[in-house]
Structure 1
Amino acid sequence: MLPTLKTFPTTKLIGKNLTFTYAKYRAFELWNGFMPRRKEIQNTIGTELYNVQINPIGFDFGPNEPFVKWAAVAVSTFDFVPEGMETLEIPEGLYAVFNYKGTAADAPPFFRYIYTEWLPNSEYELDNRPHFEILGEKYKNNDPTSEEEIWIPVRKKP
């Protein structure tokens, strides 16, 4: 379960977002609102879907702490944004990239390992940039053979 360290380039995304907490998790609602409309987005790059989370500074992953979640796709330009959708630009930066295989229901222990075991014992700390998963061709919703990449923003510890 060791990550690969990669520099993610500045990337433009168009999609939808919602603010919620882990206790009142609304990702299903977010993706149900996005998926039927994703074909309206022009100038897409690739076929991957981006499941992005933006945490406030000092976020402690508590069950009632709000964060912003995005359902989005990468685009080459922001020239046309469908009504009801918004833009997000992920800045370039270093990421720890983990490969995850399994269902969303089985993911919490994997994320717990990243944040409570791998990260504290590594030479890195969290950076204040978006966290995201890239859902590519091996992603299959609610399938135990589904695969995705988990990108955690990091920087060297001082």
Structure 2
Amino acid sequence: MNDSINEPRIVHAPARILAGLHIRQTTRTDQTVKLWQQFGPRIPLFHNRIGGELFSVQIIDRGVSFSDFDLDTPFGKWAAVQVQDEKVPSDIDILHVPAGMYAVFMYLGLPQGIHAFLTEIFTQWMPAYGYQFDFRPQFEIMPPNYSPTNPDAQEEVWIPITTLT
């Protein structure tokens, strides 16, 4: 493994309620910027928000093999915030993230580099350390002042895992 992968924290995360907008996309047809442009102005409307963090969520279809995951593999993408309950505007969707074990990595850099970072985690780190992807939401937590144009931007990458059986 190269030096881009840091030692993760392994945590058992509680269930979360996220509220946001979502689309279906591939890495090649990435519409993340557009999704955040649509969602960003709505964030101040959440009076039941927990914390100031932003959540970028990926919903990977059950059964996808990460050795075959490529630029054209479809997945769900969310721009979201954490909320206390489901009392949100009618045009906002709710995502229930179940409790479970996560490997939490720190990613430093521009969003364009995260695909390679994730690929290394899925194809090298997980098998080397006896874990496999658990098909729950995978997400990044970004601070309130996150800037996707800052090459020194940091985000936490939360990968749902389970031990190999």
TM-score (norm 1): 0.94
CA distance in 2: counterparts of 1:148 and 1:137, whole angstroms: 11
Provide the rounded CA distance (Å) in 2 between the counterparts of 1:27 and 1:141.
11
Q: Kindly tell me the number of residue pairs found equivalent between the two proteins.
A: 157
Give per-residue Cα distances to partners, 1:82-111, cap 9 Å, x unaligned.
Answer: 132100110000000000111112222211
How is 1:6-155 mapped onto 2 (pairs within 5 angstroms)? 6-60=11-65, 61-78=69-86, 80-137=87-144, 139-155=146-162
Matched AA of 2:73: E
For the aligned residue pairs, the C-alpha RMSD in angstroms reads 1.3
CA distance in 2, matches of 1:50, 1:82: 18
Q: Tell me how far 1:12 sits from its aligned partner.
A: 0.5
Measured after TM superposition, the shift of residue 137 of structure 1 is 4.7
The 2-side partners of 1:115 and 1:104 are apart by 17
Distance 1:123 1:139 in 2: 32
> What secondary structure does 1:31 align onto?
helix
Q: Distance in 2 between matches of 1:69 and 1:3?
A: 23
- Structure 1 residues 137-146 or 43-52, which shifts more? 137-146
Q: Which amino acid aligns with 1:130?
A: P
Name the amino acid aligned to 1:58. G
Q: Structure 2: state its 5+ residue gaps.
A: 1-5
Q: Using the TM superposition, give the Cα deviation of residue 121 of structure 1 relative to its aligned residue in structure 2, in angstroms.
A: 0.8
How many angstroms does 1:118 deviate by? 0.6
2: CA distance, partners of 1:83 / 1:91: 23
Instruction: Say if 1:53 and 1:132, in contact at 8 Å, map to a contact too.
Output: yes
